[in-house]
Amino acid sequence: MHVIVVYDTAAERNPRILRTCRKYLHHVQRSVFEGQLTEAQLRRFQMAVEDLLDLSYDQVLVYTFPPGTTPHRHEWGATKPTPTTIL
Amino acid sequence: MHVIVVYDTAAERNPRILRTCRKYLHHVQRSVFEGQLTEAQLRRFQMAVEDLLDLSYDQVLVYTFPPGTTPHRHEWGATKPTPTTIL
């Protein structure tokens, strides 16, 4: 399924969150990741991310879509190079 | 149509971007907004946002979905109060 992830975590935890997101998804903006995951991959990703979070502060938003549904992405403003496309 | 907006703008422009996003959408995370817009509202919103951007640095990602398609939003980590729900 298609997945969009946006994280809002304290600066000291950002590098590890970033690394974990990159293992599973494409990096599309500073704190935004996107890609296709199976249910099993999503569960593994969730466990890996939740291990890193401080539950009193950090938040990760995850949008999932029914199979076959892909959002249209528009980029307004600067066109930045995609940091990585690892999957 | 359902719209998700994530902005990555320089700190000095954030307050005005934030104010503009709040006029059109619900604030769901620090730099993430969501809501329902018509095509006409989306165009007005885009013009208002692009007026504020420095095209050499700022970027706004906008995801749109076909009518009737709404993504499922999961929140991992801290449950923060939604800053505003103005529309």
Q: State the Cα torsion B77-A12-B58-B82 to the nearest 10°.
A: 30
CA angle B31, B32, B38 (to 5 degrees): 130
Report d(CA B69, CA B72) in Å as an integer.
Answer: 10
The residue-averaged pLDDT of A62-73 equals 89
List of chain A residues whose C-beta atoms are within 8 Å of the C-beta of residue B77:
9, 50, 53-55, 57-60
Residues in chain B within 8 Å Cβ distance of A53: 76-78
pLDDT, position A80 = 66
Beta-carbon pairs below 8 A across chains A and B: 118
**pLDDT grade for A87, boundaries at 50, 70 and 90:** very low
Q: What is the mean pLDDT of residues B2-10?
A: 94
| Residues facing residue A19 across a β-bridge | none
Asked whether the beta carbons of B61 and A74 are under 8 A apart, the reply is yes
- Residue A70's pLDDT band, with cuts at 50, 70 and 90, is confident
CB contact A47 to B (< 8 Å): no
For residues B21 and B87, the model is more confident at B21
More confident residue, B82 or A79: A79
Query: May I ask the CATH architecture of the domain B2-65?
Result: 2-Layer Sandwich (3.30)
pLDDT of residue B16: 94
